[in-house]
């Protein structure tokens, strides 16, 4: 039985972990949500009395990796755990075993990545003036699809474009990420036994970040719970104030609605103690509370004399100088580079900014999820291989690399390749044996992929899925690098930068607000807090969407928070951006710095 030191969990956390029934857990920022979820999984794994599986659905692959590694570090056997995103769950447990029942999937399919999707939509949008692929975002629900674009004048054209898009996908037996959800839902709707079988497979289904979950995703989980009639428990955790994907269909389902639809007892619980931020930081980001929640400052930083500054007079041409000044002040105050974060709403702002920061602060290192220099399609086979090839062989990374190797071997088997003699250690040994002097990142990976499969005696050309995934990986990577370089990140294709992607975070983080969700830093510095960026121009309820983004942004900080709405940033040909309205309207005793 998994046991923990009483100091590891507070009373709220321990109660949620030990609760025998299903739980709906509302967790404020800094409340130890991930720790609680991790301990809950470890606790249930250790209590297994049959061969049923504990499934954990996370919002990102990165979160899945982090939770898996935490559980492994607790010394708990994870052989009975499945963890991944909702799209991975649908592919693994619904589409792969039952896709034969769906005419669109029965003869094979390929999941296209975001790059392929953008190229298709750009071509289809070309005849329609004023409509771009950004306007064509859509999300599926239980009856069809809905448009994310708030401009109803474009809807007729977008529906026509998407009609052609769906037709081309069907003709070439391809699906995108939304269609993964649609087909999984349709299969479970039409073949009732699938939900029944899955309820017998899973003892628990846990869901992280429920506030960003779509209706169709809730429906998939509810189908399993309802079919199980109480035999499958759930553990749902999140924070309705951090629901920042509303334009793509994400929303925080009320617990009463979820309980009624699932038809099983579900206990509502909360984590209300913030161990991350000072009382001053908490009092600030609470101004952007959309859903009333109770937050108590409980950590070592509670009484810290935090600085909270807001500069809405600085010219956009002076932003980089101010960022450098704030970074230097933070470093001089003793904050480690890893505890400083620079945020902007759009990654395109970060690419050019990072280039300038690198030049202006040559002794500092910068890193961040917004600057991944190659295709980060986690379901692409070659992306999985690249993770192994780009990380060092060390005892500290062995468990992580063994798990990645297992994923690669599993995919090879799914592609029809005989893997009976291929072990995780053999694959890692062959990867470690590759030595190349190539400095160009994409060329390095291209040669490394070829060398590895020659060593494994596998002909890439003999297996079409390998070729298709490889083409998609390099096409997407080349496009991503080109855009980053045009934005000023000329260094982005160096292999040394590639090798930073999968390392533990080092240096000053640069990220979008969306990309930094779940992270925390001593010092958070944000710019670009402008109407049309925060919120994004596509958001239908601007003030609510902006408040949630500002709530997420502010709650990342432990000690200091510096905000900027720069003046004069061009918007279109003749206009300029103005400050984000809920931010400029917030009455707070800001510090002068």
* 234 labelled binding-site residue: no
- Contact at 8 Å (CB) between 68 and 83? yes
* 519 labelled binding-site residue: no
Domain identity same for 189 and 68: yes
Domain identity same for 451 and 544: no
Task: Between 18 and 373, name the one with better pLDDT.
Answer: 18
- Structurally, the chain folds into a number of domains equal to 4
Distance CA 507, CA 337 (A): 5
Task: Between 369 and 339, name the one with better pLDDT.
Answer: 339
104 within some domain: no
CATH number, domain with residue 558: 3.40.50.300
553 within some domain: yes
410 within some domain: yes
* 103 labelled binding-site residue: no
Asked whether residue 503 carries a pLDDT value surpassing 80, the answer given is no
* 512 labelled binding-site residue: no
Residues of the chain with pLDDT > 90, as a percent, come to 73
Domain identity same for 447 and 463: yes
Rounded average pLDDT over 331-339: 96
Helix, strand, or coil here: 577? coil
Task: Between 112 and 285, name the one with better pLDDT.
Answer: 285
Domain identity same for 358 and 413: no
* 462 labelled binding-site residue: no
101 within some domain: no
- Boundary residue ending a domain (172, 195, 214): 172
Task: Judge if the upstream peptide bond of residue 535 is cis by omega within 30 degrees of 0.
Answer: yes
Contacts of 563 (CB under 8 A, 6+ apart): 308, 309, 310, 311, 526, 529, 553, 583
Domain identity same for 86 and 196: yes
Distance CA 267, CA 269 (A): 6
Nearest to 407 by CA among 430, 384, 390, 391: 384
User: Where in the sequence is the domain holding 519, given as residue range(s)?
Assistant: 279-368+505-585
Q: Is the dihedral of CA 427, 430, 433, 434 positive or negative?
A: negative
* 34 labelled binding-site residue: yes
Domain identity same for 351 and 439: no
| pLDDT of the residue at 346 | 87
| pLDDT of the residue at 392 | 87
179 within some domain: no
* 439 labelled binding-site residue: no
Domain identity same for 488 and 557: no
* 149 labelled binding-site residue: no
pTM: 0.87
Low-confidence winner among 383-392, 457-466, 498-507, 519-528 (lowest mean pLDDT)? 498-507
Task: Between 369 and 90, name the one with better pLDDT.
Answer: 90
11 within some domain: yes
- Contact at 8 Å (CB) between 354 and 327? no
- Boundary residue ending a domain (471, 498, 525): 498
453 within some domain: yes
């Amino acid at each position: 039985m998994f046991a923990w030191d009483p100091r590891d969990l507070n009373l709220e956390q321990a109660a949620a972990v030990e609760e025998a029934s299903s739980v709906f857990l509302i967790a404020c920022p800094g409340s130890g949500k991930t720790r609680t979820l991790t301990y809950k999984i470890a606790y249930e794994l250790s209590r297994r009395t049959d061969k049923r599986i504990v499934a954990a659905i996370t919002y990102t692959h990165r979160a899945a990796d982090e939770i898996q590694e935490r559980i492994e570090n607790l010394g708990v056997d994870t052989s009975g755990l499945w963890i991944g995103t909702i799209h991975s769950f649908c592919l693994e447990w619904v589409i792969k075993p039952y896709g034969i029942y769906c005419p669109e999937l029965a003869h094979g399919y390929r999941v296209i990545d975001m790059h392929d999707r953008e190229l298709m939509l750009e071509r289809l949008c070309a005849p329609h003036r004023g409509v771009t692929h950004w306007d064509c975002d859509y999300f599926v629900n239980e009856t069809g699809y809905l448009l994310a674009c708030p401009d109803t004048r474009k809807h007729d054209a977008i529906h026509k474009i998407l009609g052609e898009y769906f037709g081309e996908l069907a003709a070439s037996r391809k699906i995108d990420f939304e269609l993964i959800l649609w087909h999984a839902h349709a299969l479970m709707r039409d073949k009732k036994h699938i939900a029944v079988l899955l309820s017998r497979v899973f003892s628990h289904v846990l869901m992280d970040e429920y506030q960003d979950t779509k209706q169709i995703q809730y429906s998939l989980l509810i189908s399993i719970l309802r079919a199980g009639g109480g035999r499958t428990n759930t553990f749902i955790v999140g924070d309705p104030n951090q629901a920042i994907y509303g334009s793509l269909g994400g929303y925080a389902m009320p617990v009463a609605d979820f309980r009624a639809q699932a038809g099983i007892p579900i206990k509502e619980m909360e984590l209300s103690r913030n161990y991350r931020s000072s009382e001053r930081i908490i009092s600030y980001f609470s101004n952007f509370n959309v859903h009333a929640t109770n937050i108590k400052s409980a950590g070592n930083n509670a009484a810290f004399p935090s600085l909270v500054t807001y500069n809405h007079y600085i010219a956009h041409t002076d932003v980089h100088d101010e960022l450098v000044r704030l970074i230097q002040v933070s470093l001089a105050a003793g904050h480690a580079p890893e505890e400083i974060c620079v945020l902007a709403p759009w990654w395109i702002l970060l690419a050019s900014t990072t280039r300038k920061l690198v030049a202006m602060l040559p002794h500092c290192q910068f890193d961040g999820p917004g600057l991944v220099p190659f295709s980060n399609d986690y379901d692409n086979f070659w992306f999985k291989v690249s993770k192994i090839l780009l990380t060092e062989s060390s005892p500290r990374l062995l468990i992580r690399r063994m798990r990645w190797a297992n994923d690669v071997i599993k995919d090879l088997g799914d592609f029809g390749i005989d893997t009976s003699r291929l072990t995780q250690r053999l694959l890692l040994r062959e990867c470690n044996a590759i030595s190349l002097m190539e400095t160009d990142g994409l060329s390095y990976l291209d040669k490394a992929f070829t060398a590895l499969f020659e060593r494994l005696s596998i002909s890439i050309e003999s297996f079409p899925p390998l070729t298709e995934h490889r083409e998609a990986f390099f096409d997407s990577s080349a496009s991503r690098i080109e855009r980053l370089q045009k934005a000023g990140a000329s260094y982005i294709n160096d292999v040394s930068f590639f090798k930073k992607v999968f390392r533990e975070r080092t240096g000053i983080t640069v990220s979008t607000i969306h990309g930094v969700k779940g992270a925390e830093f001593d010092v958070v510095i944000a710019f670009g807090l402008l109407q049309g960026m925060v919120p994004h121009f596509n958001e239908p309820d601007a003030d609510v969407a902006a408040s949630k983004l500002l709530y997420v942004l502010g709650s990342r900080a432990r000690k200091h928070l510096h905000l900027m709405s720069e003046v004069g940033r061009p918007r279109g040909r003749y206009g300029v951006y103005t400050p984000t309205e809920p931010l400029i309207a917030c009455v707070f005793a800001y510090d002068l710095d």
